Amino acid sequence: MKSATSTNIKKRVKANDVFITPLALAKQHIGMIDYTPEDIWYDPFKNSGSYYNQYPTDCKKEYSEILEGKDFFEYQGSPTIICSNPPYSILNKVMEHSVSLQPRVISYLIGMGNFTNKRTEYMRNQGYGLVKIFYTKVMSWYGMSMIVVFEKGKPDMEGFGYDRIVWKHS
């Protein structure tokens, strides 16, 4: 028997990308990022402020929120850290705009199925190494989620690798 969640997702006509991150998980995510007081934190998808309201108080912080008329794709600031839970249905576009802002750190909470080799390769080709991964499960969210932390100019964490080969049985 299929679960109601998987059936609903397959039949969905319009993406439902509004999932509020639990405060404790957002705080844990923020805590995974090395920062200095000079950093500018940016939350592209503020919504209720799960991230934005918990950013370090000794740093400058900025945000976008489409419901307030502040569109992430129109933001042209100079953040040093981007940290949030983006809409998964437009993740490629989100990653591209994030990279165009040239922050030192790009870190997102994403669905495990959204963490693809192609996206990892894109980040690597843009000069961002994958420095941290954290797997987690949020009640009522579809499948497992993960926090990924990419840093500009850093190598991928030790032991991390991938290939784009489609392996076949011999």
pLDDT of residue 18: 63
pLDDT of residue 6: 44
Residue 161: inside a domain:
no
Looking at the 3D structure of the chain, how many domains does it have? 1
**Domain range for 108:** 21-152
Q: What is the domain-level CATH number for residue 110?
A: 3.40.50.150
pLDDT of residue 138: 83
pLDDT of residue 45: 96
Residue 72: inside a domain:
yes
For residues 118 and 104, the answer to whether their CB atoms sit within 8 Å is no
pLDDT per residue of the chain (170 residues) written in tens, 0 to 9: 444 444 454 444 544 556 789 999 999 999 999 999 999 999 999 999 999 999 999 999 999 999 999 999 999 999 999 999 999 889 999 999 999 999 999 999 998 888 999 999 999 999 999 999 999 988 776 678 999 999 999 999 988 887 778 889 87
Residue type, 84: S
Residue 51: inside a domain:
yes
For 39, the 3-state DSSP assignment is: coil
pLDDT of residue 16: 55
Separation of alpha carbons 81 and 105, rounded Å: 5
Residue 46: inside a domain:
yes
pLDDT of residue 5: 45
pLDDT of residue 162: 78
Separation of alpha carbons 4 and 10, rounded Å: 10
For residues 45 and 64, the answer to whether their CB atoms sit within 8 Å is yes
pTM, entire model = 0.85
The DSSP element (H or E) to which 147 belongs, if any, is: strand 145-152
Of the candidates 136, 138, 84, 75, the one whose C-alpha atom is nearest the C-alpha of residue 102 is 75
Residue 162: inside a domain:
no
